[in-house]
């Protein structure tokens, strides 16, 4: 008997049976953990082949930008952007669930299968999950690129409005330079206050 892991069985359970025609929608996110900026979730159904797809973190910025344009041109896609204020108000898990539900509504067709990179679909039915899918499944890799490039562009724009934080460099993640800027200048409107309060390296009582 072939030993099939529980994770693989769960993945196979949601896939169509042999001979069934289906389209695969890959889903991935960018910005789940930063101290500032939005959460971005993207869904992609490739309609034509795009070469060079991979986990966006493994690609250079210039390559991601080129692939972004090709993906947009050769796919059906939907991108959800959830700002810091909403993340603070609703919590990250609820925001993730809302984004996944929106992508399913936007891209669902009769034979569409949804696959999310990770180990949970946040309670959204009809979505399969696979850890590391962004580096294994082209549609998920494409979603990873759309999400990351979209978020990076937003953070570069934010750096123009709030230059003291260096958002164009760290994209809102909790680097030493970013934490020092928070201690020096306080929080700006795109900071996630709920995240900063639990980040002991960034926290300063007078700021919160």
Predicted pLDDT of residue 111: 85
Question: Does residue 1 fall inside a structural domain?
Answer: no
Say if 207 falls within a structural domain: no
13-49, pLDDT tens digit by residue?
555 555 555 689 999 999 999 999 999 999 999 999 9
Q: Is the pLDDT of residue 67 over 60?
A: yes
d(CA 135, CA 116): 12
71: in domain: yes
Q: Which residues contact 131 (CB under 8 A, 6 or more apart)?
A: 7, 117, 118, 119
Model pLDDT, residue 197:
84
Q: How many domains does the chain have?
A: 1
109 confidence band (pLDDT: 50, 70, 90): confident
Q: For residue 45, list its beta bridge partners.
A: 76
Q: Is 206 part of a structural domain of the chain?
A: no
Q: What is the CATH number of the domain that holds 128?
A: 3.30.420.10
Q: Would you say residue 154 lies in a domain? A: yes
pTM to 2 decimal places:
0.87
Structure confidence at residue 8 (pLDDT): 46
pLDDT at 203 over 80: no
- Domain assignment present for residue 50? The answer is yes
Q: Which domain holds residue 183?
A: 6-201
């Amino acid at each position: 008997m072939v030993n099939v892991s529980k994770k693989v069985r769960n993945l196979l359970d949601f896939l169509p049976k042999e001979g069934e025609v289906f389209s695969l929608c890959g889903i991935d996110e960018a910005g789940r953990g930063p101290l500032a900026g939005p959460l971005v979730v993207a869904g992609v159904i490739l309609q034509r082949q795009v070469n060079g797809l991979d986990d966006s973190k493994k690609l250079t910025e210039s390559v991601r930008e080129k692939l972004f344009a090709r993906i947009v041109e050769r796919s059906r896609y939907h991108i959800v952007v959830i700002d810091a204020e909403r993340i603070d108000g609703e919590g990250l898990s609820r925001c993730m669930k809302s984004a996944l539900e929106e992508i399913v509504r936007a891209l669902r067709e009769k034979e569409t299968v949804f696959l999310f990179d990770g180990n949970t679909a946040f309670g959204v039915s009809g979505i399969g999950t696979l850890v590391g899918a962004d580096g294994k499944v082209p549609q998920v890799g494409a979603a990873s690129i759309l999400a990351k490039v979209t978020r990076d562009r937003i953070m570069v724009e934010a750096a123009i409005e709030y230059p003291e934080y260096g958002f164009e460099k760290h994209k809102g993640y909790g680097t030493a330079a970013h934490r020092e800027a928070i201690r020096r200048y306080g929080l700006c409107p795109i900071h996630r206050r709920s995240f900063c309060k639990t980040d002991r390296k960034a926290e300063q009582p007078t700021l919160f």
